[in-house]
Amino acid sequence: MTERSLAEPRKLIFAANWKMNHGPAEARRFAEKFLALTAPAENRNLWFFPPAVSIGALCQAMGNRPDVRVGAQNVHWETKGAFTGELAIPMMVEVGAQVVLVGHSERRYLFGETDEQVARKTTAALGAGVTPLVCLGETLTEREGGRTEHVIVRQVGAVLQALEPSDWARVVLAYEPVWAIGTGKNATPDDAAQVHELIRMELGRHSVTARVPILYGGSVNTGNVASLLTRPQLDGVLVGGASLDPNGWADLLEKGSNAKVRPSGWHGTIDG
């Protein structure tokens, strides 16, 4: 895990959230096609979040690609116990996972995950040496009601209360407006940059000096990824449906990686 010089361009993170798609056999087929289509690139890292049953298969299929990390879509904060249907962090690590999605909008709004639970999962991941990708975002009702800032500050604040400032060197964030998840709508580059700046300011207000990568998620596709990533506030993208096809995913990576990425005065990276 390193931080880049302030004068260097950002190293982008392209994160693929497969949601409830691709079992082990399909994950292996995806990896075979994907590896034939792409080679490691110096300016990006690739993170994959398959269903829990496919984590081990995808880790094995990806081999030793230095630019790839595989992770879980959700975990419990306890390491064992009577939690039917849950996934413990040591279990995901045992099959090769290195990262985990925490607080995805579908976990929050479909399954009732609270800010407190998101904070507990983040703390547990860090304690196990796993990198959490913590998701933040407002609903359409909240956005139309002028409450975006309130919601983002509240969600960031729950994690801030649970962590020490030094912990943030091992955290990645993603702004994913709920109204843009799977809807075909997406925040404009200006919209995304504005909220990313808000998050950065809130971290600074609480003495977080680590240059925390902040991704954007919400109907990202081959048609908009380049325009989004020209903004220096964005350190990468969290992609859902557009990551399920290896050919389309490879195309998205090429377009995003070739975007005019400007050096940033505050951004760093987590390598791996």
Task: List residues with catalytic annotation.
Answer: 104, 176
Torsion angles phi and psi, residue 136, rounded to 5: -135, 150
* Cα gap 200→194, rounded to integer Å: 10
* Spatial distance between the Cα atoms of 202 and 96, rounded to a whole number of angstroms: 33
Calpha distance 47→94 (Å, rounded): 18
Phi, psi dihedral angles at 236 (to 5 degrees): 150, -170
- List of residues 6+ apart from 248 with CB closer than 8 A: 222, 242
- Residue for token pair 């299929």: 61
What single letter denotes the amino acid at residue 261?
Answer: V
DSSP state of 242: G
CA atoms within 13 A on the CB side of 179: 13
Asked if residues 233 and 263 have their Cβ atoms less than 8 Å apart, the reply is: no
Give the HSE-up count for residue 114: Cα atoms under 13 Å, Cβ half-sphere: 4
Helix and strand numbers (H, E) in the chain are 10, 8
Q: How far apart are CA 192 and CA 218, in angstroms?
A: 10
Residue 206: DSSP 8-state: T
The Cα–Cα gap between 95 and 105 comes to 26
